[in-house]
Amino acid sequence: MALNKPNWWIFLLAIIIGFVSGSLVSQLLEMVLPTGVVRDFLTYSVNFGIKTVELNFGMIKIIFGLSFSFTIISLLFVAGVVYYFKWWL
């Protein structure tokens, strides 16, 4: 393994961890902050994905689906992760 070759799998894992931790903090802020414009702005989520598809074969039921939800806080966490990991890559 070359020493100068960046390890993109670690970077991708860090971005995923940034999204998950940002979503967690966003949910916590939604519980803690009082109702208002700041809470609505920080915890507003944009959802997109593939609707669930159900295949029912009698004894076996298979359900497929994929959904993503992004908030301002999770995007800020990912920006922080990218800023932090630019020194590692």
Query: Are the CB atoms for 14 and 85 separated by under 8 Å?
Result: yes
Q: What is the average pLDDT value for the chain, to the nearest integer?
A: 86
Residue 3 lies in a domain: no
Structure tokens at 20: 């998950």
Q: Is residue 25 exposed (0-12), middle (13-18) or buried (19+ Cβ within 10 Å)?
A: middle
In this predicted structure, the answer to whether residue 7 has a pLDDT above a threshold of 80 is no
Residue 55 lies in a domain: yes
Where in the sequence is the domain holding 36, given as residue range(s)? 10-85
Query: How many whole angstroms separate alpha carbon 46 and alpha carbon 13?
Result: 22
Each residue of 29-46: pLDDT tens digit?
999 989 999 999 988 999
Q: Give mean pLDDT, residues 47-57.
A: 91
Residue 75 lies in a domain: yes
Residue 1 lies in a domain: no
Structure tokens at 81: 């992760």
Query: Are the CB atoms for 59 and 7 separated by under 8 Å?
Result: no
